[in-house]
Chains A and B, each alone.
Chain A
Amino acid sequence: MKDTIDGIYRFGKDFATLSMVQRYKVYDEKVIRKGKDEYRVWDPKKSKLGAALRMGLKETGLFEGAKVLYLGIASGTTASHISDIVGPRGVIYGVEFSPRSIRDLLYVAKRRPNIMPILSDARMPQQFASRVENVHVLYQDIAQKDQSAIFIRNAETFLKKGGLAMIAIKARSIDVSENPKKIFAQERKKLQEKFDIITELNLGHFEVDHAFFVCKLK
């Protein structure tokens, strides 16, 4: 067990976070107990950030006490691990468009008060801006055709100076028939207009036809 990246622990090839809430599972994740501590193993098949870690992600920009804006938080699988990392002094503003998904998130947010559930459209930051603040990290996982544009807009509005922005891009939701490599190149170009790209990963067999970018605003 080594602390490799801020707040993320390694157990063999698995990654895990130190649970903020004892004896409470968010999804059916594996739990490793060390004395009083509970480490929740990050399932790379259920979380794209988890998959990115397995594919060699080294820098997430997350730290204890960080403020995060999470677009497309869904029912809080990935968010629960981010919640562990940022801890009680950190905060996650979780924006989700689907009432069904956010219904599950409400229960997670009750146990983890650092998650703020916001039912809104990430495409329209005007609708939720008055309920959030500027953040250290932007994380986006939404399967939309214009996901890069949404990402840029939100980063320009809410990302603090020097903050990191992560995005998982699903090629199939941009164009089902185009070659994913071509799509990633085209999205990379869009991102490079506003960002310096720090890391680019392919999520491989964990999430087929997905790319993961870590960027910094220029």
Chain B
Amino acid sequence: MYTYISLNPIGLFAHDANGKQLASIIFKLDDAKDRFIAASHPELTEDDRALIKKLGKKDDQIIFEIPKDGFFDEFPNISGDTIRNNLSKLAISTGFVKDAGEYYLYINELNSTITKTSIKAASTDDRLLVHAVSTIDELESTANTLSIRLKEWYGLYYPELLETVKSNEKLASLLATTPKREDLSEDAGLSMGGDYSETDILQYQNYAIMINSIYRQMKELEAYVDRKATEIMPNVTRIISPTLASRLLADAGSLEKIAKLPSSTVQVMGAEKALFRHIMGQGPSPKHGLIFQAPVINQSKKNERGKRSRMLASTLSIAFRMDYFDKKLTGGDLLKEKFDKKIENLKG
């Protein structure tokens, strides 16, 4: 004979195969939350043991509804089905709460608490990296937009400088310290730009300081991303650069996600446009997406790139899985060795 046990927010219940209740443990409202959370883990709790004891020394096979160490489980089982059909009434009839209002306030609090704990657990380091990578991209595009304005604006005053300083970053850092044309060049007096006052020039300087600080923060973030990527993806970063590794991670969304992706997806990540064009039947399949940035691919002969991309993607998939499931694994070196050998054989 079988005995079925189910857990719910008010306690633990045991039923026989016909749905007849055999025994129960009802929590106290004050400590119900903790006892429920404890009992929902696979480890056997005091309450689990107490219920089994109540059932007596029958030779019944005990079947839980959730995984429990040393027991069978079946979902849904008859105990859970019976209880769930009648739970809020049961909460009142067993004296667990005095009315439905009190019961549902408890359920709201219980679920909110468990959810908050899970949210905390989901805030892992790889999530930081995903945002840092996106932030770098956004800062770069912002700095470019702002620099266009700086050039046009400063061009009114000293256009000759723009001919010699082409880089946005250099221009911003230069004007942040020395906005006056007299300080920049001896020929400044011959400039075709307008003659502006100190106050006018101060506006350039303030604006340039702001843009310059965006570039500075980008640099800092890039260094941070490299450090962080090496730390959380030790195996992947042996094969590709930390920058590329974190770009791939950001595209997938999290280490868990990328570890669970097939390597054929990793291969074309970032080439979605071409991929969907292909799926719709209007183009060749893309050979590589983001991984094209790896020198092993972009510095190789065109006719080898497809093969190399497949090899790199499959190697990376294994590395991402090592990093997600167990960082202590140091298979990255071996993986890199094998990969290099494969690439070499391809040449021969």
* Given known A-B contacts A157-B76, A176-B276, A114 and B104 have beta carbons under 8 A apart: yes
* Given known A-B contacts A89-B100, A129-B84, A103 and B114 have beta carbons under 8 A apart: no
The distance in angstroms between the C-alpha atoms of A93 and B65, with both chains bound, is: 19
The distance in angstroms between the C-alpha atoms of A51 and B210, with both chains bound, is: 46
| 9-residue interface stretch from A41-49, A53-61, A118-126 | A118-126
When the two chains form their complex, are residues A106 and B65 in contact, meaning their CB atoms are under 8 A apart?
no
Mark each residue of chain A from 125 to 159: 1 if its CB lies under 8 Å from any CB of chain B, else 0.
11001111110000000000000000000000110
When the two chains form their complex, are residues A177 and B280 in contact, meaning their CB atoms are under 8 A apart?
yes
Which residues in window 56-114 of B have CB below 8 A to A? 65-66, 75-76, 80-81, 84-85, 87-88, 100-101, 104-105, 107-108, 110-112, 114
**Chain B interface size, under 10 / 10 to 19 / 20 to 34 / 35 or more:** 35 or more
At the interface, yes or no: A204 with Cβ under 8 Å from chain B? no
- Which listed residue, A89, A99, A106, A132, touches B84 by the CB 8 Å rule? A132
> Hey, which chain A residues are within 8 Å of B80, CB to CB?
129-130
* Given known A-B contacts A119-B115, A131-B111, A177-B279, A126 and B84 have beta carbons under 8 A apart: no
At the interface, yes or no: B7 with Cβ under 8 Å from chain A? yes
Residue of A nearest to B111 (CB): A116
Residue of A nearest to B75 (CB): A126
| 9-residue interface stretch from B116-124, B184-192, B200-208, B316-324 | B116-124
> Hey, which chain B residues are within 8 Å of A133, CB to CB?
8, 84-85, 87-88
A57 → B minimal CB distance (Å): 28
Residue of B nearest to A115 (CB): B108
> Hey, which chain A residues are within 8 Å of B84, CB to CB?
129, 132-134, 158
When the two chains form their complex, are residues B75 and A110 in contact, meaning their CB atoms are under 8 A apart?
no
> Hey, which chain A residues are within 8 Å of B242, CB to CB?
none
> Hey, which chain B residues are within 8 Å of A118, CB to CB?
111, 114-115
At the interface, yes or no: B315 with Cβ under 8 Å from chain A? no
The distance in angstroms between the C-alpha atoms of A65 and B186, with both chains bound, is: 83
Residue of B nearest to A110 (CB): B112
- Which listed residue, A102, A157, A160, touches B119 by the CB 8 Å rule? A102
* Given known A-B contacts A106-B112, A117-B112, A158-B84, A126 and B118 have beta carbons under 8 A apart: no
> Hey, which chain A residues are within 8 Å of B230, CB to CB?
none
> Hey, which chain B residues are within 8 Å of A102, CB to CB?
115, 119
When the two chains form their complex, are residues B111 and A117 in contact, meaning their CB atoms are under 8 A apart?
yes
Mark each residue of chain B from 16 to 46: 1 if its CB lies under 8 Å from any CB of chain A, else 0.
0000000000000000000010001000000
Residue of B nearest to A90 (CB): B104
Q: Can you pick out 24 interface pairs between chain A and chain B where the beta carbons lie within 8 Å of each other?
A: A89-B100, A91-B107, A93-B111, A99-B122, A102-B115, A103-B119, A106-B116, A109-B108, A116-B111, A117-B115, A118-B115, A125-B76, A126-B65, A126-B75, A130-B80, A131-B107, A131-B111, A132-B84, A133-B88, A134-B84, A134-B85, A157-B81, A160-B85, A176-B279
When the two chains form their complex, are residues A119 and B279 in contact, meaning their CB atoms are under 8 A apart?
no
Mark each residue of chain A from 146 to 180: 1 if its CB lies under 8 Å from any CB of chain B, else 0.
00000000000110100000000000000011000
The distance in angstroms between the C-alpha atoms of A160 and B87, with both chains bound, is: 13
When the two chains form their complex, are residues B112 and A131 in contact, meaning their CB atoms are under 8 A apart?
no
Secondary structure dominating the interface of B: helix
When the two chains form their complex, are residues A91 and B111 in contact, meaning their CB atoms are under 8 A apart?
no
The distance in angstroms between the C-alpha atoms of A170 and B220, with both chains bound, is: 42
* Given known A-B contacts A125-B75, A131-B9, A177-B280, A113 and B108 have beta carbons under 8 A apart: yes
B104 → A minimal CB distance (Å): 6
> Hey, which chain A residues are within 8 Å of B75, CB to CB?
125-126, 129
The distance in angstroms between the C-alpha atoms of A177 and B111, with both chains bound, is: 39
Which residues in window 260-286 of B have CB below 8 A to A? 276, 279-281
At the interface, yes or no: B309 with Cβ under 8 Å from chain A? no
A209 → B minimal CB distance (Å): 14
The distance in angstroms between the C-alpha atoms of A73 and B87, with both chains bound, is: 22
When the two chains form their complex, are residues A113 and B65 in contact, meaning their CB atoms are under 8 A apart?
no
At the interface, yes or no: B246 with Cβ under 8 Å from chain A? no
A74 → B minimal CB distance (Å): 14
A117 → B minimal CB distance (Å): 5
Residue of B nearest to A94 (CB): B111
When the two chains form their complex, are residues A129 and B85 in contact, meaning their CB atoms are under 8 A apart?
no
> Hey, which chain A residues are within 8 Å of B87, CB to CB?
133-134
The distance in angstroms between the C-alpha atoms of A201 and B293, with both chains bound, is: 46
4 tightest Cβ-Cβ pairs between the two chains A and B: A133-B87, A99-B122, A126-B75, A116-B111
Residue of B nearest to A158 (CB): B84
> Hey, which chain B residues are within 8 Å of A114, CB to CB?
104, 108
When the two chains form their complex, are residues A130 and B9 in contact, meaning their CB atoms are under 8 A apart?
yes
When the two chains form their complex, are residues B85 and A131 in contact, meaning their CB atoms are under 8 A apart?
no
> Hey, which chain A residues are within 8 Å of B36, CB to CB?
130
Residue of B nearest to A99 (CB): B122
When the two chains form their complex, are residues A131 and B104 in contact, meaning their CB atoms are under 8 A apart?
no
